[in-house]
Amino acid sequence: MKILVVGANGQIGRHLVQSIQNSGEHVARAMVRKEEQVSHFKELGAETAVVDLEGEIEEIAKAADGVDAVVFTAGSGPKTGKDKTIMVDLDGAVKTIEATKKAGVKRFVIISSYDTTREAIQNAGESMAPYVVAKHYADEWLRGAGLDYTMIHPGLLTNDAGTGKVDVGPSVKADNVAREDIANVIFESLKNDATIGKEFKVINGQTPIQEALGNL
Amino acid sequence: MKILVVGANGQIGRHLVQSIQNSGEHVARAMVRKEEQVSHFKELGAETAVVDLEGEIEEIAKAADGVDAVVFTAGSGPKTGKDKTIMVDLDGAVKTIEATKKAGVKRFVIISSYDTTREAIQNAGESMAPYVVAKHYADEWLRGAGLDYTMIHPGLLTNDAGTGKVDVGPSVKADNVAREDIANVIFESLKNDATIGKEFKVINGQTPIQEALGNL
């Protein structure tokens, strides 16, 4: 499998490319924004593509050419303004979905946030609500896009080492989860077609990732 | 006809409520955010509803109860941050659309911006792009909502007195247009069912509004 990782230079993205390359069997194509981010991924043996998510759909579609799956794990991050929340978390995600269709690729995994429902928007504080809204509409777009998608809603992301064990489900209780484990949930989801059309939350837990996804 | 005007206290909204009340035949229900905005509309003989667009769909649906049409002419305006662009121009519009459906109302008019296409997003400068993105997704939501909608794309809005004459069409050249004329384009659209399902640009021009809409 060749997998385009959009947002490869993010923390989850870096773990994911590493896992894909470690497999020996699959290949990552790391999509990054800046030329200077490329070398890290080349050293891992991954393919690379330098594309700005604020650019045109056509550029993203070129990066998706010939891959078997696309993973969207980009995010504007908490340090940028709400303008980037709109441009990256919402519009960047939608453009990646449209680019995936344009490239003729069917399989898509999105890293959403923990809860993007209407209720979550209403319950979010004033500073978080715009982010939840952006993710809400990106998720809605994906649901209607006709792709073979999997939507992953991680708990509170930490930089702890992954344990390889998680709890997954439509309504697990909010808790921490290591970015490294999320990366492996993505990778295992791509290898398990039973996750197509599924949306689930992921937190640290007791069940090995493969088995947890098998129980969905 | 009873018409819920969402964003009644905006400059277009005030003109619109005035026109509706002046007709003697139709009635406006002015939806405003603050209690102190109510008296202006009561003096015009309009009904009023105090609802925050950042609140729940249910509250907006209550305001839409029993009306024949809903007009969305709210906007966060250029003075607020991009957080309000997301919360009002995008999510406020979508919530109003959903509230309209919930209230069993079919007729909907939205004041979009001049150009909300993908090309317009790409061509917008960095400071305007988030606004265009927000309006883009609000428009997309409306197209898929199953309502009897009219989508009005005004040129550069001015506070000049209305002339009662406009140019309308899918691709008129960008030019100024008086807010007062846009208010009357909304009102005339509501009275002309041939505008249902139509999306058009409006600029100052030479053709009386009724006639211009009739030529669409």
pLDDT digits (tens, 9 = 90+) for B41-54: 999 999 999 999 99
Q: Where are the domains of chain B?
A: 2-214
C-alpha radius of gyration, chain B, whole number: 16
Q: At residue B81, does pLDDT exceed 90?
A: no
In 10 A of CB B146, how many CB atoms? 10
Q: At residue B171, does pLDDT exceed 90?
A: no
Q: At residue B22, does pLDDT exceed 90?
A: yes
pLDDT at A78: 79
State how far the Cα of B180 lies from the Cα of B202, in Å rounded to an integer: 12
A90–chain B Cβ distance below 8 A for any pair: yes
Confidence category of residue B173, pLDDT binned at 50, 70, 90? very high
The pLDDT of A27-55, averaged and rounded, is 97
The pLDDT of A15-24, averaged and rounded, is 98
Q: What distances in angstroms separate CA B8 from CA A91, B27, B46, one per listed residue? A: 29, 13, 11
Q: What are B51's two structure tokens? A: 């609802």
The pLDDT of B58-77, averaged and rounded, is 96
The pLDDT of B86-90, averaged and rounded, is 96
Q: At residue A171, does pLDDT exceed 90?
A: no
Q: At residue B70, does pLDDT exceed 90?
A: yes
Q: At residue B57, does pLDDT exceed 90?
A: yes
- Residues in chain B with CB shorter than 8 Å from the CB of A55 are 122
pLDDT at B79: 84
The pLDDT of A33-51, averaged and rounded, is 98
B86/A86 CB distance under 8 A: yes
Confidence category of residue A210, pLDDT binned at 50, 70, 90? very high
Q: How far is A87 from chain B (nearest CA, A)?
A: 6
C-alpha radius of gyration, chain A, whole number: 16
What pTM was computed for the model?
0.94
Nearest to B19 by CA among B175, B178, B154, B147: B178
Q: Tell me the percentage of chain B whose pLDDT exceeds 70.
A: 100
Confidence category of residue B104, pLDDT binned at 50, 70, 90? very high
Q: At residue B119, does pLDDT exceed 90?
A: yes
pLDDT at A79: 84
The pLDDT of A120-130, averaged and rounded, is 94
* CA closest to B88 among chain A residues: A130
Residues of B belonging to the active site: 131
Q: Considering CB atoms only, which of B81, B91, B126 is closest to A121?
A: B91
Q: Tell me the percentage of chain B whose pLDDT exceeds 90.
A: 95
Reported in sequence order, the residue ranges of chain B that DSSP labels E, i.e. its strands, are 2-6, 27-32, 47-50, 69-72, 107-111, 148-154, 156-158, 165-169, 176-178, 199-204, 207-208
Q: What are B139's two structure tokens? A: 């428009």
A125–chain B Cβ distance below 8 A for any pair: no
B132–chain A Cβ distance below 8 A for any pair: no
B118/A57 CB distance under 8 A: yes
Displacement of CA A57 from its chain's centroid (Å) = 18
State how far the Cα of B154 lies from the Cα of B168, in Å rounded to an integer: 9
B51–chain A Cβ distance below 8 A for any pair: no
As assigned by CATH, the class of the B2-214 domain is alpha beta
Confidence category of residue A80, pLDDT binned at 50, 70, 90? confident
ipTM of the complex: 0.90
B3–chain A Cβ distance below 8 A for any pair: no
pLDDT at A26: 98
Q: Please, which residues have CB within 8 angstroms of residue B32's CB and are 6 or more apart in sequence?
A: B8, B9, B38, B41, B48, B49, B50, B51
Q: At residue B185, does pLDDT exceed 90?
A: yes
- Residues in chain B with CB shorter than 8 Å from the CB of A82 are 81-83, 85-86, 130
